[in-house]
Chains A and B, each alone.
Chain A
Amino acid sequence: MKKYIILSLVIGSLSACFVDTIQPDELIGYQKKMVVNGVFTAGEGLAIELTTSEASIDSTFPRLIKDANVTLITTSGNVSMSYNVLSENYITGTALMSGESVALKIEHPSFPNVNSVVRFPVNINAYGVLIENGGIDTSGKKGDLLQVTFNDEAGKDNFYKINVYYMNTTLNQWIPINFDKRDPSLAEYNSYLLNDAGVLFSDELFNGNSKTISIVTTSGLVSSNPGDKYLIELSSITKDYFSYYRSLQRAQDAKEISFQGGYNNAVVIHSNIVNGLGILGATTQNNIVLK
């Protein structure tokens, strides 16, 4: 008898819950956009990737757009970017300098025109010092102490990206280091770790001052290297670039969350592309090789 009572109550409750599949108008009427992915580095040739966005309820993947008119508008004139089959990017050999602004304009008959403006950050003139066995690594042993110093521009919010590599003499190439982030500006709350082991951070804690970041590497990592030991890439980056990566990081975190509903697992990826999606970032990079 008890079983029947419980069973009938459970069935009674479950029979009131229903599920159906819907196709909201907001999703059906989706208009495709151009997606720009590009980060310009001061003093180097420029490249962007151009793809389509697709409706979420379509089975098609985003695809490359190869026949768009891509123009850069600089202070010294317009520069056309052409599609390169090998890199699958639009490229130009024109190099722009730190402090310079550039506008990107892309036209394609099947999409709304998109544009974006970016200004290269000013050079922060970073320099570095290597003190062999000058620090204690995470296992308590003596490790090399790397110090990189730069001047933060006062009166504005500045953003940075730092990558540290060591020279692997066997492979003869720079290998990224996942370094210990002891500096408060690199602490988890203030920074974002990228897939290439780079770290994005802001000048929130040192605005307008000279800043030195200290990094201790694992003991014995490059003790046998005769020449180059470490490479520090310190880039001053645009705010949009910082916001873009921060939103990607949040989107990654949200994917691990099973909760549905609300907007806890919905992350709007930051974009500075007008009428489109993606990012046009700019960096002014300082490469410091420590021997």
Chain B
Amino acid sequence: MRYLYLFVFLAILSCIANAQHITRGKVVDQEEHPISNVKINEQGTGNIAYTNDKGEFTLNLFGSDSRVIFTHDSYDTFNRSLPFDEYTLVFLNPDPDANDYHLGYLVGFLDFKHKNKNKNLHNMPYFLGESDINRQLQMLPGIEQGNEGYSNLFVRGGEVDQNLLLYNGSPVYNSNHLFGLSSTFHHRSIENTSIYRGIAPAKYGGRGSSIISLESKKNGDYSGLEGEFEITPLNAGIYIESIKKDISYFTVAARRSWIDLLIPVESKQNEFNANIYDLQVNFGKKLKNKDAMDFSILSTRDLYFIAFRNTDTTSGNNSPVTYGFTQKWSNLVTSFKYTQNISTSTTAEHSIHYSGYKSTTELKQETFNIQLTSIPTTKRLLTRGVRDIGLQSNWQHHLNNKHSLSFGLQTQSRLLLIGRYDYTAVNYPDLEDINTVEGNPKYELAQEVTLYGEDKFRFSDEIIFDLGLRSTYYHYNDFNKVVVEPRLHATIFLENKDVLKAGYNRHNQFINQLNLGQTGGPSNLWVPATSQIAPQIVNTLEAGYERKLGSIYSASMNIYLKTMENLLQVTNLNDAGDPELDWQTSVVQGEGRSFGAELFLQKSKGTFTGWISYAYSKSTRNFAELYDEDFLFTYDRPHMLKVYANYTKETSPWNFGVNYIIGSGQLFTLPIGKFRDINGNIQLEYNTLNNYRSPFYHRIDFSLAKIKDAYGMGQEFRFYLYNALGYRNPLYVSADFTDNTYQELQVHRNYLAFVPGISYVVKF
């Protein structure tokens, strides 16, 4: 037994001794952008490590007096000695003619900081002048807006609920203002937007199509206080950041609509009111022991109220009656993250988040009677929502120069309020007050517990494997399920420095959003997987090829195949939205499939920057209950060519941007014929679903910014024009009978054109 103790003691000692032979750091360019795949070689030895996608490296078995050589084909070779157990920032000088395009990350990944940087997105043309994160994503290949004008995201033929939107790591359940016309995320408040379009690390999961991560600013090039104020026709907003470089940060972003402030208070209470706001507060600090804390809050709200007055003639005394309709929805998302440096080879992130989404619809009737001292009032309030509480512990361990491990435990407790009605009737003479609750009055718990592990394995100088597994245990009422998801990815650096990537992922999705008539709308209902409603399963296979072209261009090509099982489709909108009925009886499950190829060409240097993308895709659905055969997905767009270009020069008083999109039109379902059924009633004939493709989609948007300095502050007037050439891209196409004889059908098309926008920005 003594020998066993001695062996364990020696083993631990050995580990500690090994751990001491480690140095860590980050390799960056002169603008502190991380440089991936830098070869780090201990001079005179075969001891080699590479930087990861964040530019970070860990080098094992390091001699105390050794020098380390940093080599990258786009940067000058550099060598220096590095201290043990320290985290060192290493700057490399770029080769003047080199292309700094970031070749790292998993296939299908895109962001606006590393993969697609320097595009001056503040100069992008935005709908109504609201600089919206989702509008930026919509210009990328494989990401579509869905209905014209909306701020939704459909990624590679997937559904909206298959996107996991993370704000500083916390899920957001409804990121829309204005019923989906604008997202809650303003361009200025987000430092980087990244998206995994199908293939994702094992750390992420739970949604089938994409992981969209929005990160607020947490560090800067220098310390200081700065901000900007912006006013648009819809909102007034302010952004302030106070940053102590590498020490702490504090950022606040707030927006509120201002038109309602011009409406008299009495009118807002009795006739009409509409306002929106969003607030983001983020605070973080690095501790003395190099650990870090991050705290984040997001709060959003939309409120719409309309009322009209009538006269109640039934009571005989012609009492005035007010009918009011109020729709309100809000998000409250908070998170706290503690980043721990456990040892030179091990770091961990522990976090807790709360994400609450609530939507209410209130119908109210007040009867005014001069003979009564109080106002008889009836009210029906429909409340729906999600409360998501998550705990995560995500670890990274550097095993050796070839293996870097990620693993962790994540729990997610989702409380879902499917829908409750609160009925009240008060102050009615000769009637007792009524307060009743119908529907599903309580939040119901759906629980997910996930374990994952992944090895980033540097197989050779040219090949990297990312091999991971993610396993989730799901529990809801009497339904329990365990799933295992493989995460496989390979990166191959070719001899000509191009990169070939391929990956396969499986995602299980235990939460669904029932589309009750308007994608992105506030009333859409979040529902869990149940014993009757199987979880969605999405398999994604993707391959990509990336290449630097000269010193300023880069190109990539991706092909993918995606299969989707257990998709949900509402068959009866009325019943599915009625909390007094079982939503499960108003939905059907089916399958989907999509495949495509995407080409993406970027220009990242110079006064003119931007990109061109072309995507070919096909996406189908099969719901046997709806139609016997496969039919095209509503947002299937076989061909889409998108161009974003901008001219941005600091010394120029005028900057401008342009979006140009041309591609396949949107699908709608129109009845082609009519016939008598077996009961003698007239029925409409649909040869298939989504049978009408509107003429090709064509849109050009412009933005123009006039810049000047005044009183020591930068000022910008930005002018926007959406669909500047007035192409008739339908918002929706509807078929209505011309009269109540139900004989002749007319097809109407609604479209948006020449939508102006303006904003005024003051920077301080």
- A residues neighboring B (CB under 8 Å): 2, 5-6, 9, 12-13, 15-24, 26-27, 30, 32-33, 35, 37-39, 49, 51-62, 188-189, 195, 244, 248, 250-251, 253-254, 256-257, 259-270, 277-279
Contact = CB atoms under 8 A, between A and B. Distances in A.
Contacts of A51: 675-676
A86 B684 CA distance: 27
Contacts of A17: 731, 750-752
A24 B147 CA distance: 19
B748 A20 contact: yes
B753 interface: yes
27 contacts: A9-B259, A17-B731, A17-B752, A23-B747, A27-B670, A53-B685, A54-B673, A55-B672, A55-B673, A55-B674, A56-B671, A56-B673, A56-B685, A57-B746, A61-B743, A62-B682, A189-B582, A189-B585, A248-B679, A253-B572, A253-B574, A254-B572, A262-B634, A266-B671, A266-B689, A268-B686, A268-B688
A268 B262 CA distance: 49
A253 to B, nearest CB: 5
Nearest to A269: B683
A24 B634 CA distance: 17
B676 to A, nearest CB: 5
B459 interface: no
Contacts of A253: 571-572, 574-575
B734 interface: yes
Contact of B675 (A16, A53, A59, A261): A53
Contacts of B682: 61-62
Interface string B646-673: 0000000000000000000000111111
B692 interface: yes
Interface residues of B, number: 64
Contacts of A13: 755
Contact of B750 (A19, A24, A257, A259): A19
A27 B517 contact: no
A12 B756 contact: yes
B743 A26 contact: no
B664 to A, nearest CB: 15
A24 B685 contact: no
B692 A269 contact: no
B683 A263 contact: no
B679 A195 contact: yes
A249 to B, nearest CB: 10
Contact of B733 (A12, A49, A259, A261): A261
Nearest to A259: B517
B745 interface: yes
Given A24-B747, A26-B670, A262-B669, A251 B263 contact: no
Given A22-B747, A56-B745, A259-B573, A62 B675 contact: yes
Interface of B: 147, 233, 259, 262-263, 515, 517-518, 570-575, 582, 584-585, 626-628, 634, 668-679, 682-686, 688-692, 722, 728, 731-735, 743-756
B749 A19 contact: yes
B146 to A, nearest CB: 10
Given A2-B262, A12-B233, A37-B677, A264 B753 contact: no
B684 A56 contact: yes
A136 B578 CA distance: 30
A263 B733 CA distance: 11
Contacts of B674: 53-56, 62
A237 to B, nearest CB: 13
B369 to A, nearest CB: 33
A250 B573 CA distance: 11
A157 to B, nearest CB: 13
A54 B675 contact: yes
A21 B748 contact: yes
A277 B582 CA distance: 33
B676 A263 contact: no
A27 B744 CA distance: 12
Contacts of B582: 189
Contacts of B691: 26
A60 B743 contact: yes
A19 B574 contact: no
Contact of A248 (B672, B683, B754, B755): B683
B349 to A, nearest CB: 41
A250 B585 CA distance: 12
Nearest to B688: A268
A18 B676 contact: no
Contacts of B744: 57-59
Contact of B669 (A21, A30, A263): A263
B131 to A, nearest CB: 18
B747 A35 contact: no
A33 B672 CA distance: 12
A18 B753 CA distance: 7
B669 A6 contact: no
Nearest to B684: A56
Give the top 10 A-B pairs by smallest Cβ distance, nearest first: A260-B734, A53-B675, A261-B732, A266-B669, A259-B517, A16-B755, A2-B262, A56-B745, A263-B669, A189-B585
Contacts of B676: 35, 37, 49, 51, 62
Given A264-B517, A266-B669, A257 B573 contact: yes
Given A37-B676, A51-B676, A54-B674, 7 more contacts: A12-B233, A24-B747, A27-B670, A56-B673, A61-B682, A270-B628, A278-B677
Contacts of B678: 37-39, 49, 244, 248, 278-279
Given A37-B678, A56-B671, A263 B690 contact: yes
B690 A6 contact: no
A267 B573 CA distance: 13
A261 B668 contact: yes
A74 to B, nearest CB: 22
Contact of B259 (A6, A21, A264): A6
Contact of B749 (A22, A53, A256): A22
Given A35-B676, A53-B675, A266 B747 contact: no
Given A26-B691, A269-B677, A5 B262 contact: yes
Contact of B677 (A15, A248, A264): A248
Counting chain A CB atoms within 10 Å of each CB, the highest count among B676, B744, B751, B755 belongs to B676
A30 B671 CA distance: 11
Contacts of B752: 16-18
A242 B48 CA distance: 69
B673 A53 contact: yes
Contacts of A16: 722, 752-756
A269 B685 contact: yes
A188 B583 CA distance: 12
Counting chain A CB atoms within 10 Å of each CB, the highest count among B515, B572, B585, B628 belongs to B572
Contacts of A262: 515, 634, 668-669
A254 B733 CA distance: 17
A270 B673 CA distance: 14
A38 B670 CA distance: 27
A244 B655 CA distance: 61
A258 B582 CA distance: 21
B675 A278 contact: yes
A21 to B, nearest CB: 6
Contacts of B751: 17-20
B749 A263 contact: no
Contacts of A261: 147, 668, 732-734
A26 B692 contact: yes
Nearest to B634: A262
Contacts of A39: 678
Contact of A250 (B571, B669, B685, B756): B571
Contacts of A33: 673, 675
A132 to B, nearest CB: 35
B672 A27 contact: yes
Contacts of A279: 678
Contacts of A9: 233, 259
Contacts of A277: 675, 685
A242 to B, nearest CB: 12
A54 B682 CA distance: 11
